[in-house]
């Protein structure tokens, strides 16, 4: 194994996330128009198929920590990449809804396994003080993968099978690189971190509220991820290749999500949550109102990408803050809730499209998102201070990760011997 620097590992992790999340998961919506025509699938069938990778993501997420602990980071990452290769190759050869569904289901397993593997590797290769920055860079890989998929749509809109075969080749390269660069370690908790205290009732209450908001956001966003390209082709009469500009806008704007989420952590998360969810809902209404205007649809995608990535980043940091010291649980629960919301919303969008058409279906989901945004004052405030209690100076994603390195009394641990500095 060749050792990577912290910067090198961050970029390498972002590349693997780009393949697993960007290409294997979120690129599917881009190719829905030609796939639906070639395989003669109804919107309802596409909705069901679109939910499958989210279901498999949830199932894989449940076993991923165990896999990373038992198999180690390297083998878990390689196994994740193997599912990506198999799933993408199967999609490229799909001849029916069944074979297409099996392919996207395998791709969902890939996404569920990849991040735990990278987290385990990060504990071994990256200084704890840099975990936050490295995680933020890796999380941005989703947007990078979406951007990478755009040329395939622009130039291979009518050759989606070849495009997916190309994605499978990239995933195979990722498997080889994972074997070469990722260490075979299983420890995901720093050796000098104090055992986390038991989860109390207040934390469970806040986690429940966080998960509800994450579920609702995933539910609403499912319409855009799965059906936005098909909407502009079917309702707006735009060519299939033009849908690539939507995902390019989503990917580019999504890169700013980490910045917005960090600003939210420093200021007022409930207000930021309301604003971002209103933006996400507005982007869907704008797309449904002007599907034939390429400039407006691209602007809609910019707004959606920024809002979606900002919200997922906010959920990540809130989960870490709510359960300091439990990196395998705090940030995982809201992401599972997002995936469950998307898996629930996807087939429902298909039903609404069949019954009422694309415009009304998107309008309904936009209204639901607006309603949830109004309820954002209930978003969990993960740091409550008693009267007279000093507010900690450090905020942001880095502080969220650093907070896990405190003992039960709240004293910072010495990074060299694992004891509190004040003892």
- Interval 70-82 mean pLDDT: 90
**Strand runs labelled E in 350-417:** none
List, as one string, the DSSP characters of 45-83: HHHHHHHHHHHHHHHHHHHHHHHHHHHHHHHHHHHHHHH
Query: Using one digit for the tens of pLDDT, what is the confidence trace for 272-305?
Result: 899 999 999 999 999 999 888 888 998 999 999 9
Looking at residue 212, its pLDDT comes to 94
Looking at residue 394, its pLDDT comes to 46
Per the DSSP assignment, residues forming a β-bridge with 420 are 413
Query: Using one digit for the tens of pLDDT, what is the confidence trace for 326-363?
Result: 555 666 788 889 988 988 998 899 899 888 888 999 99
Looking at residue 352, its pLDDT comes to 92
Looking at residue 360, its pLDDT comes to 92
CB of 193 within 8 A of CB of 323? no
- Interval 6-30 mean pLDDT: 86
Looking at residue 172, its pLDDT comes to 96
Looking at residue 258, its pLDDT comes to 62
Helix ranges (H only) for 93-200 are 97-125, 131-139, 141-156, 160-181
Looking at residue 100, its pLDDT comes to 94
> What is the chain's mean pLDDT, rounded?
80
Query: Using one digit for the tens of pLDDT, what is the confidence trace for 368-386?
Result: 999 999 999 999 875 443 3
Looking at residue 401, its pLDDT comes to 47
Does the pLDDT value for residue 106 go beyond 80?
yes
Place 392 in a pLDDT band, splitting at 50, 70 and 90. very low
Looking at residue 220, its pLDDT comes to 95
Q: Which domains does the chain have, with CATH numbers?
A: 1-188 (1.20.1250.20), 199-382+395-414 (1.20.1250.20)
What is the spatial distance between Cα 53 and Cα 104, in angstroms, rounded to a whole number?
5
Query: Using one digit for the tens of pLDDT, what is the confidence trace for 165-208?
Result: 999 999 999 999 999 988 876 554 545 555 656 777 887 888 88
Query: Using one digit for the tens of pLDDT, what is the confidence trace for 127-159?
Result: 766 766 677 678 778 888 888 887 777 776 668
- Interval 22-32 mean pLDDT: 83
Looking at residue 188, its pLDDT comes to 47
The DSSP secondary-structure symbol of 242 reads G
User: Tokens 């933020």 label which residue?
Assistant: 136
Place 415 in a pLDDT band, splitting at 50, 70 and 90. very low
Looking at residue 366, its pLDDT comes to 95
C-alpha distances out from residue 294 to 77, 147, 148, 301, 375, Å: 39, 18, 20, 10, 33
What is the spatial distance between Cα 333 and Cα 204, in angstroms, rounded to a whole number?
11
Looking at residue 129, its pLDDT comes to 65
Does the pLDDT value for residue 316 go beyond 90?
no
Most confident of 12-16, 289-293, 401-405: 12-16
Query: Using one digit for the tens of pLDDT, what is the confidence trace for 78-87?
Result: 999 999 999 9
Does the pLDDT value for residue 420 go beyond 70?
no
What is the spatial distance between Cα 20 and Cα 116, in angstroms, rounded to a whole number?
13
What is the spatial distance between Cα 344 and Cα 174, in angstroms, rounded to a whole number?
31
Count Cβ atoms below 10 Å from residue 240 Cβ, excluding itself. Answer: 21
Looking at residue 388, its pLDDT comes to 39
**Assigned token pair, 10:** 């961050």
pTM of the model: 0.76
- Burial (CB count <10 Å: 0-12, 13-18, 19+), residue 329: middle
């Amino acid at each position: 194994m060749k050792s990577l620097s912290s910067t090198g590992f961050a970029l390498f992790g972002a590349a693997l996330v780009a393949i697993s999340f960007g290409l294997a998961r979120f690129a599917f919506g881009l190719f829905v128009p030609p796939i639906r025509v070639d395989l003669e699938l109804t919107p309802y069938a596409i909705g069901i198929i679109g939910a499958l990778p989210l279901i498999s993501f949830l199932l894989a997420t449940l076993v991923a920590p165990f896999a990373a602990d038992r198999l180690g980071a390297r083998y878990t990452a390689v196994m994740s990449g193997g599912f990506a290769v198999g799933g993408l190759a199967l999609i490229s050869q799909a001849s029916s809804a069944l074979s297409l569904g099996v392919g996207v289901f395998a791709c969902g397993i890939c996404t569920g396994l990849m991040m735990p593997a990278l987290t385990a590797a990060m504990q071994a290769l990256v200084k704890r003080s840099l975990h936050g920055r490295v995680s933020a860079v890796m999380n941005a890989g989703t947007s990078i993968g979406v951007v990478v998929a755009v040329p395939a749509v622009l130039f291979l809109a009518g050759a989606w099978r070849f495009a997916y075969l190309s994605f499978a080749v990239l995933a195979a390269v990722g498997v080889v690189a994972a074997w070469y660069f990722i260490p075979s370690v299983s420890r995901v908790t720093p050796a000098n971190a104090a055992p986390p205290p038991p989860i109390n009732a207040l934390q469970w209450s806040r986690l429940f509220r966080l998960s509800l908001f994450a579920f609702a956001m995933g539910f609403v966003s499912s319409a855009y991820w799965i059906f936005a390209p098909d909407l502009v082709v079917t309702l707006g009469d735009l060519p299939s290749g033009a849908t690539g500009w939507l995902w390019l806008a989503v990917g580019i704007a999504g890169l700013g999500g980490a910045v917005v989420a960090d600003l939210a952590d420093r200021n007022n998360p409930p207000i930021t949550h309301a604003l971002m969810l209103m933006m996400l809902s507005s982007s869907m209404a704008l797309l449904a109102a002007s599907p034939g205007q390429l400039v407006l649809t691209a602007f809609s995608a910019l707004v959606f990408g920024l809002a979606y990535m900002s919200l997922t980043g906010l959920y990540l940091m809130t989960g870490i803050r709510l359960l300091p010291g439990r990196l395998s649980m705090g940030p995982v629960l809201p992401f599972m809730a997002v995936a469950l919301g998307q898996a629930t919303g996807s087939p429902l969008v298909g039903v609404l499209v069949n019954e009422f058409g694309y415009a009304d279906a998107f309008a309904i989901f936009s209204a639901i998102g607006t309603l949830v945004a109004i309820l954002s004052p209930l978003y969990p405030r993960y740091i409550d201070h008693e009267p007279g209690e000093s507010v900690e100076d450090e905020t942001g994603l880095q502080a969220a990760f650093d907070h896990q390195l405190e003992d039960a009394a709240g004293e910072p641990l010495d990074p060299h011997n694992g004891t509190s500095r004040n003892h």
